[in-house]
Amino acid sequence: MNSEPVGVEERYAVFPFYLCLDVSASMAGAPIDSINRQMPELRSSVGDDPAIAEVVRFAVVTFSDVARTVLPLSDLSLVEAVPEVRAEGRTSYGAAFEHLRQVIETDYHTSRASGDRWYRPAVVFISDGRPTDEEARWRAAHARVVDPTWRRRPNILAFGFGHADPAVLASVVEGKPDRAFIAEEGAEPAAVVPKLMKGLISSIVSSSASVYSGEAQLTPPDVPGMTPIPVDQLD
């Protein structure tokens, strides 16, 4: 007699998304308020659609002087509300990447223990400023996240506005075309953030649809007012 639980083998692999959000002091006011207003729409757009919720898992990581998981990796159909975020401190990219490496590794093993299979995770990295920690620290932490020998290394999309440095954002995505975006010069963060959050929703929805084809694809969002950052082509 077959003792395997019915339906286990028919489960699709899940597509984990990590929103890695800069909540340094410069994000106070309209940018943070806009994010908090858009989060319920993201939760409902993903969590209320069974086809999307079946395959997407979503987490929110914030960073300032320290990094925190404010929403653990979750099936959004089971989440009543995404916690609000608040601005504080400086802009430690090192803290962000150190935390991401740890939390992705932990989440993977927890999910595997419950029977889930994973596609490579996606990290959506959003910042309005330059890193305030030592370059050696954050680059070392970033190198561990994108280490090609680490099987859980995520695909990263980076979005910047305000005082974000395009060259730094390009390095965050390892110089991959169409993975790093910067707001147009003079764009107000209060106007950029709502469009960015709506673009994130669209990206998650489009990416989730690709899971059912058997080959998940991360779809970069089209965000009005943001343009791809040119990167050098290597020989």
- Tens digit of pLDDT for each residue in 14-30? 999 999 999 999 999 99
Any idea what DSSP says for residue 5? P
Phi and psi dihedrals of 26, rounded to 5?
-70, -15
Whether the predicted pLDDT of 111 surpasses 90 = yes
Q: Do residues 87 and 28 lie in contact, with contact meaning Cβ atoms separated by under 8 Å?
A: yes
Partners of residue 19 on adjacent β-strands: 60, 124
Closest CA to 197 of 76, 50, 51, 39: 39
- pLDDT value, residue 63: 97
- Model confidence at 190: pLDDT above 90: no
CA nearest neighbour of 35 among 198, 206, 226, 205: 198
Q: Give the angle subtended at the CA of 18 by the CAs of 83 and 20, to the nearest 5°.
A: 75
Contact yes or no for 105/153 (Cβ under 8 A): no
The type of residue at 158 is: A
Q: Using an 8 Å Cβ cutoff, are 227 and 181 in contact?
A: yes
Q: Are 114 and 14 in contact (CB under 8 A)?
A: no
Structural domains for the chain = 14-228 (3.40.50.410)
Greater confidence (231 vs 122) lies with 122
User: Are 180 and 173 within 8 A, CB to CB?
Assistant: yes
What's the pTM value of the predicted model, to 2 decimals? Answer: 0.92
Q: Which residue has the tokens 């974000």?
A: 164
Mean pLDDT across the chain, nearest whole number? 90
Strands of 122-127's sheet in order across: 67-74, 56-63, 15-22, 122-127, 155-160, 180-183, 226-228
